Every structure is written in C-alpha cells, then in structure tokens.
Amino acid sequence: MISLILRTTTRFLLPLLLLFSIFLLMRGHNEPGGGFVAGLVAAAAYALYSIAFDVTMARRALWIDPHTLVGIGLLTAAGSATLSLLVDKPFMTGQWSIFVVPGLDKVELGTPVLFDVGVFLVVIGVTLMIIFTLAEET
C-alpha cells in the first residue's frame, strides 16, 4: 500500500515540477538549462506519479503516448535544423525572428528554441518509455 502522504504530495509536486521544467527549457538557451535537463525534470515528475499511483494512472496523466512524444520531438528538432537550408544558410544555422508583444518590448524567437523543444520532447518520451516499461514488468 502506497502512503497517503506520498500520493497527496505527488498531486502538488507534479504541476510544480512541470512548471520548473518549462522554466529550465525557456532559460536554457542563454543560461544553464535547456531541453535535455528540462526533459529529465518533466520525466522525473511523471516517474514520481507512477510510483505514487501506478503506471496506468501516470500514462493517463501524461495525455499522450511516449512514442508519439519521441516522434513529435524528432520532427521538431529536425525541422528546426533544416529551416536554415531554406534560406540558403549552412545546416543548423540559427534563424531568428523578432516579435513585438504588447506589454513587452521585443521577443526574439529562433530555431535554437525550437530545437530545444524537440530535445525536450524526445527526452521525456524516451525516459518515460524506459520507466513505464520497467515499472510494468515488476
């Protein structure tokens, strides 16, 4: 029997860990963090959820199959890397766009951010495939 304290705490920790992983993802381009570390934190949140409840509940909380996450992540990373070829630049050259957002000054978005999002999704998918498979076998 799993502890009631662990289950209750996990319900509060899951959204906090996911929010922290998004924070790591967004700040990772210029400072420590990025897609890999953010993906590990997000996967750890769902791993904790699977320990507190079970794998079936964790899969339901994830909303999407880990295999699909890997596919979407690979397509996102590969797509962001090849966008530079469309503008006749070397492969994986960063392409940046500046957007003016009301209330903020300027927001620069580029292909390195898209690449990090792709890595983020791949890491979550692969890590959770491993964790869920091992948990289902026991």
Domain borders along the chain are 4-137
Q: What is the pLDDT of residues 7-60, one digit of tens each?
A: 999 999 999 999 999 999 988 766 767 899 999 999 999 999 999 999 999 999
Residue 6 vs residues 11, 49, 82: alpha-carbon distances, Å: 9, 9, 45
Q: What is the pLDDT of residues 62-117, one digit of tens each?
A: 999 999 999 999 999 999 888 888 888 887 777 777 766 777 677 677 788 889 99
Contact 82/67 with Cβ under 8 angstroms? Answer: no
Bridge partners of residue 97, in order along the sequence: 109
In angstroms, how far is CA 87 from the centroid of its own chain?
A: 28
Q: Which two tokens stand for residue 74?
A: 């690979």
